[in-house]
Amino acid sequence: MSKKITIEPVTRVEGHGKVTIHLDDNNQVAQSRLHIVEFRGFERFVQGRPYWEAPVLVQRLCGICPVSHHLAAAKALDVIVGAGTGDGLTPTGEKMRRLMHYGQMFQSHVLHFFHLASPDLLFGIDGDPALRNVIGIAIKHKELAVQAVMMRKFGQEIIKATAGKKVHGTGAIPGGINKHLTQAEKDHFLNGDDPMNIDKMIDWSLGALEFFKGYHAQNKDLIDNFASFPSSHVSLVRKDGAMDLYHGVLRGVDANGKKILDDVDYQNYLEYIDEEVKSWSYMKFPYLRSIGKKDGWYRVGPLARMNTCDFIPSPLAQKEFEIFKAYTNGKPNGMSMHQHWARLIEILHSAEMMKELLNDPDLMNGELTVKGTKGREGVGLLEAPRGTLFHHYRINDDDQIEMANLIVSTTNNNTPMNTAVNLAAKQFMNGQTEITEGMMNAVEVAIRAYDPCLSCATHALGKMPLEAMILDANGKELDRKLKNG
């Protein structure tokens, strides 16, 4: 008799997730899926609201990456107010937004690596769950815990200084920004008491990378082979191929490194990307139209960005990028656990970029906003911590939003996360008759590598069925449960 194992909820994943693992008669894993079991109606909810409210309203999506939504919405509305498609702002407007964005990237990646990923690395996937958490890190590796806390705090303070406040910030507005950085804020971030200054943040970022590389050298099998699979990768890159987390053109590469999207103006993203709905998940499945539903899926996020860009425009991160690329001889890297390596390189890059911006006089002086000829429709993209984030709005004659479409990073990674779950389940559960906590955690580790935020990925509105199925080795349906929304 086939068996179905359900891991519910997925711990340390925002929102509600459920994984089902289907075993055959020989206790071999036949199929595994990550199900999304909650949804939100945000796209329809913003309809009818004045467009200028969007950068603040979208922060209601969730409290995990509100800055990314805030900036993506503002970028879309830049187009509507005639301020260009991401590169038409005043120097002050663009640089303040970039500082906000790098602060968000920095603190988000720090949280993921130190709080969520490092316990699995330091204590083992099957380590004592009572210790395999951030408190365990504080007990056994206090210096890492201190760094995590203070790096998070630094990033949060950058956000507060640029967005105006920690909750529902208002810094980015259509056409620019609403404040300068003060001299006191600049001095604090550049020359604050140890450890709260940007040089210490860069030092610690380098230290975290050394820690990971040392761990990797000792644990190659886990880091290189766990949930590893080839795929396509998509991200924004700067026009010249540099990594750019705030603005650029869409680029995609396949598993061999061949460009499958290149120099694409994201205002036209709908010509290139579509989303498929499947009955067993509230989260959609994006794919590249040119390749099709079956094989057109792609990864986004830190690993994808390493695979799509040609170089990183900050010196220390560029050195680490070269080491990273050399590991796969320049070929695209499909190793899920290398997401952590890529994330750490982006932490370093973000810190370097923050330092460069903090030394830029444009942050404290200059025009804040720009206006042009108003339009009706705009698309805003940026590279959020978890990957490419799409905001698309159209307004009516009364300046109200009449259409909104959001593709969030976690949705872009839907198929990759399912692929990783399936591989992890097969690696750890094949042939097992008893499922241990460590085995279950292995599946969760595969999901966590993508740092998903399910709460803002599930924004479909309406009645969608939730389906649970049991299949045997031949694909024959043994049982089905359908729950209407």
Partner 1 sequence: MDKKILFYGYGNPGRQDDALGIRFIEEMQTWVEENGYKNISFDSNYQLNIEDANTISGYDIVFFIDASMESIESFSITKVEQSNAQVEFTMHAISPGVVLSLCQQIYNKVPQTHLIHIKGFEWELEFDKGLTEKAEKNLQDALRFIQEKLLGIVGNSTNFSI
The answer to the question of residue 167 lying near partner 1 (CB under 8 A) is: yes
Q: Retrieve residue 256's tokens.
A: 């061999």
Is residue 269 a contact partner of residue 287, using CB atoms and an 8 Å limit? no
Handedness of CA 391, 392, 396, 399 (dihedral sign): positive
Which of 37, 41, 28, 40 is closest to 7 using CA atoms? Answer: 37
Contacting range for partner 1; rule: CB under 8 A; set: 147-155, 316-324, 361-369, 468-476:
147-155
The answer to the question of residue 303 lying near partner 1 (CB under 8 A) is: no
The gap from C-alpha 146 to its chain's centroid, in whole angstroms, comes to 24
Which of 222, 196, 201, 199 is closest to 109 using CA atoms? Answer: 201
The answer to the question of residue 379 lying near partner 1 (CB under 8 A) is: no
Task: Give the shortest CB-329-to-partner 1 separation in angstroms.
Answer: 34
- Tell me the C-alpha distance between 201 and 63, whole Å: 24
Distance in angstroms between the alpha carbons of the first and the last residue of the chain: 30
Task: Give the shortest CB-54-to-partner 1 separation in angstroms.
Answer: 11
The answer to the question of residue 464 lying near partner 1 (CB under 8 A) is: no
Task: Give the shortest CB-70-to-partner 1 separation in angstroms.
Answer: 12
DSSP string spanning 429-455?
A: HTT-SS--HHHHHHHHHHHHTT--BHH
Handedness of CA 257, 449, 336, 467 (dihedral sign): negative
- Tell me the C-alpha distance between 168 and 56, whole Å: 6
Candidates 146, 368, 469, 473; binder of partner 1 (CB under 8 A) is 146
The answer to the question of residue 152 lying near partner 1 (CB under 8 A) is: yes
**Nearest to partner 1 of 136, 252 (CB atom):** 136
**Nearest to partner 1 of 150, 468 (CB atom):** 150
The answer to the question of residue 67 lying near partner 1 (CB under 8 A) is: no
Instruction: Indicate left, alpha or beta for 181 from its phi (over 0: left) and psi (-120 to 50: alpha).
Output: beta
Site for partner 1 in 215-274 (CB under 8 A): none
Site for partner 1 in 105-134 (CB under 8 A): 111, 114-116, 129-130, 132-134
Candidates 149, 190, 468, 469; binder of partner 1 (CB under 8 A) is 149
Candidates 452, 457, 460, 470; binder of partner 1 (CB under 8 A) is 452
Candidates 7, 23, 33, 42; binder of partner 1 (CB under 8 A) is 42
Binding mask 1-20 for partner 1 (x = CB under 8 A): --------x-xxxxx-----
- Tell me the C-alpha distance between 315 and 100, whole Å: 21
- Tell me the C-alpha distance between 350 and 130, whole Å: 33
Contacting residues toward partner 1, per CB under 8 A: 9, 11-15, 40-42, 45, 49, 57, 59-60, 62-64, 66, 111, 114-116, 129-130, 132-136, 138-139, 142, 145-146, 148-150, 152-153, 156, 166-168, 448, 451-453
